[in-house]
Structures are given as C-alpha cells and as structure tokens.
Amino acid sequence: MNIATIPHPDTITAAWGWFQFLLLLTFPLHLLAMNAMVGGLAIGVFQHFKGGPLGLRLVHRLAVLLPLVIAFAVNFGVAPLLFSQVLYGHFFYTSSILMASFWLAVIPLLIIAYYGAYLYDFRFQQLGGAGRWLALTVLVLLLVIGYFFVNNMQLMLLPERFAEYFGRMNGSMLASTHPAFLPRYLHMMIGALAVGGLFVALAGRFQADRDRELTVLAQDVGLNTFLWATVINVLIGIWYLLALPREVMLLFMGRNLPATVCFTIALLLTVGMLIVAWKQKFWLTIWHTVAMIFLMSFMRSWLRSGYLQEVFNLDQLQVVSEYSPMLFFFAVLVFGIGCIAWMLKKAGEALAGS
C-alpha cells in the first residue's frame, strides 16, 4: 500500500476518546431517525399502492409525519458526521474527493426529496393516485442518497485505492465493486425497513383513542414488517460478515475481546428481538431495537479501526488542548436536547389532536 497518498491527520483539541464517545452517542440517534424515514416511507408506499380506505388512512398519517422525520434524520446526522471527520477526516475528505461527482449530488437530491415529502403531505388529497408515484420517487431518491453515503463510508476504508485518483480525476470513483459493499448497503436498508415497521406501529398509537382500526392496522403491519425484515437482515448480516476482510472479521471471532463480547451480545439480543416481535410485545421490541442499534454502532467503530489498522490508529492523533469549543458544544447540546424535547411534546400533542 502506498501510504504517501494518505494525507496527514489534523490536530484535535481534546483527547480522541471524547470525540469517539460523542460519535457513539449521536450516531444511533441519526440511525433511528434515518430508519424511520426510509423504512416508514417504504411501508407507506406499499400501502398506498395496495389501496383500501383503512390503508389510505394509515398512509396519510405517515405522509404527515414524513417531513418531520426527514428533518430529524438530517439534523441528527450532522453531529456524527462532524465527529467522524474530526477522527478520520484525512480518510473521509479523500474519499469524498474521489467520488466528488456523486457526493456533491447528495444535497440537490435531498432538497428535491424534502420538497417532495412536503408536497406529499400538504397535497395528499389533491394528488389522489399520483401521490403514490410521488412517494415512490421520494423513496428512490432517499435510497440513492443512502447508496452514495455507503459508498463514501466504504471508500474511506480503502486507502489502497486512493492512488487511483491520478488515473481517474473526474470524481467518479465508487466502492460498489468491493465484496462488502452490497451486503453492507442491503444490511442498512433492510434494517431501515425493520425499524420503519416499529415507527409505523408507533405512529398508529398516536390515534389509539380516535381511530382504533388505524391503530390495530399500524401495529399489525409494523410488527410483521419488523419481524420478517429482521429475519432477512440476519441472513444479509451473515453475508456481510463473511464478505469482510479476514483480519477484520476475526476481530469479532475472538481476536478482539470487547468486539467479540459486543458481537455475542448482539446475537443474543437479535434472538430476543425476534421472540418479542413474534409475541407482539411492542415496547419490549422497541427497547431491544434501540439497544441493538447502539451495539451496532460500537461494532461499526471496531470495523472501521480494523480496516485501517495497518495505516492508522486513533492514538496517532496529536492533541493541541483547547477545551472551550467542547464546553460550548456541551452547553449547546444540553440546551438543544431541551428544545427537542419541547418540540416533540408539542408535535405529539398536535398529532394526537389531529
């Protein structure tokens, strides 16, 4: 590997453990919102094409929630993306340049999808049958954005490919030919469908005292989608594990004790998730899923370190102490959490009353 093509990392203002902690804290929040966005919309599109008065009532409920969920997914994604850049910026910025033609397309695609989501919400009745095609278009755009994101996250882990830039300087490089790319992308998207099922069930519960039929349908559709999508995702997860480079896979097979313990707990948690979902235990399924998403974030961190272990580890980052930005961040974080809690309370009251 030609390490000369790997840029020198920037200095950081505090020990890297702080940034890793914040990354592992914020990334699961983004995943939850992103999964609700993609998975909830996918279920809504299916129900819209399926039709039926009750199904359309559920679709309308999801259409109303869609712009709100997209806003949370985007905003919750900012912090973990920035913390990733602090720790692995010299890899992330390089991969972003290598695929710049696609990476720069993310923003306009997201703007179009966001506009489409608002149109789907505010013009739901007027759109009629055309609404399902609009919703499908928004879903495809979100899947394409996810495809570009997974490409970037995979490409930054392949510094041996960085030198290809000199023979391909138009920003069109992707990592989609890597053996781990397809199972990684499918694992993310099928996982989003599963969590989206829980979001649909939760959305139906907002109407429990006003539309019992809708609540029953939402929980039935949501939990069944979660159950079968999770079963499929277990198989895709096995494919993904086997597609990893051997030295990375072995981190979860005993070579790294914390990673192996985390992987083992995740397997046990998966079994528990399937059991409680099968028994229609809604809140137990939710808490199992939240715990699983946090564990997956930890394993993702070990996976990233494993890919880069030959050329970089976080201990190489140089610290130039300056704690005021971090203190300011924590102050804003506490204030922001309070604002989000207030907004969620108000949104819940409005949705329950609508």
User: Looking at the predicted structure, is the pLDDT value of residue 4 above 70?
Assistant: no
Is 2's pLDDT higher than 60? no
Judge whether residue 1 has pLDDT over 60: no
The span from the CA of 9 to the CA of 23, in Å, is 18
Total length of the chain: 354
The predicted-structure confidence for 36-77, as pLDDT tens digits, reads as follows: 999 999 999 999 999 888 888 999 999 999 999 999 999 999
Residues 295 and 269: beta-carbon distance below 8 Å:
yes
pLDDT cut 90: percent of the chain above it: 73
Reported as a pLDDT band with limits 50, 70 and 90, residue 339 is: confident
Q: What is the pLDDT, as a whole number, of residue 201? A: 93
Which stretch of 32-36, 49-53, 190-194, 196-200 has the lowest confidence by average pLDDT? Answer: 49-53
* 127-146 average pLDDT score: 94
Helices (H) and strands (E) in the chain, counts: 12, 0
Q: Is the model more confident about 337 or about 317?
A: 317
Q: Residue 136: pLDDT band by 50, 70, 90 thresholds?
A: very high
- The distance from CA 239 to its chain's CA centroid, rounded to whole angstroms, is 19
Count of other CB atoms within 10 angstroms of residue 332 = 10
> How many whole angstroms separate alpha carbon 11 and alpha carbon 215?
52
pLDDT at 337: 82
What's the CA gap between 14 and 12, in Å, rounded? 6
Q: Which of 160, 159, 152, 161 is nearest to 181 (CA)?
A: 152
Q: Which pLDDT band, with edges at 50, 70 and 90, does 351 fall under?
A: low
Question: Token pair of 98, please?
Answer: 């290598």
State how far the alpha carbon of 166 is from the alpha carbons of 5, 154, 290, in Å.
10, 20, 43
Report pLDDT digits (tens) over 228-251.
999 999 999 999 999 999 999 999
Residue 208: which pLDDT band, with cuts at 50, 70 and 90? low
The pTM of the whole model exceeds 0.85: yes
